[in-house]
Structure 1
């Protein structure tokens, strides 16, 4: 499924600091912890809690967030549908990374075990 240029632009300009509280609410409402959320984000991006807090304070966009991230080499193992898009078919690199993050957070909120969320090559 192809994303539109307008969709990709919206993702690029989104502010990480404005979305992050929604991630926290989503996982905590389902009985997961903020620490588990930090674990998932760190696995995908390499950012620890301190790094994330700095990025939030800087009010970075998703574009800047993912430019500074070191994407996990196993991120390509993230598959499935999120926000109406099959992540493995998204052609825009930034949008794909943002949807990887969304997918991991969805899995955490749905109660999937951390060992399964933090993918490893088989």
Structure 2
């Protein structure tokens, strides 16, 4: 514990982890909004003074980014097919496939296992 606190703690001191937290929270908001049929636009380059005035945000708050949310006039068409894992992720080095994760596992949904279990027990469908 002493090594962790004294050596590693000093290395990460000063890292603005709140920016990572904001990014993760914002991306969760974006994903949920898209799931609900809303469109979003993450805005990182904006006039700080104008944004603060327009949204009436007091100076004691730091504005990191803006996130526009609403209904798009026209939604872009969805890709007909997802990329395979080997096209978007690698293991230890670029181009090396991830051996421990299959495309099946990435597309797995918890309800799938319930349906499979129900079929093996002679049931057609699990009712909610």
Report the TM-score when normalising by structure 1.
0.28
Q: Could you say which structure has the larger radius of gyration?
A: 2
Q: Which has the higher helix share?
A: 1
Higher relative contact order (CA 8 A, sep 6+): 1
TM-score, normalised relative to structure 2:
0.27
More strand by share: 2
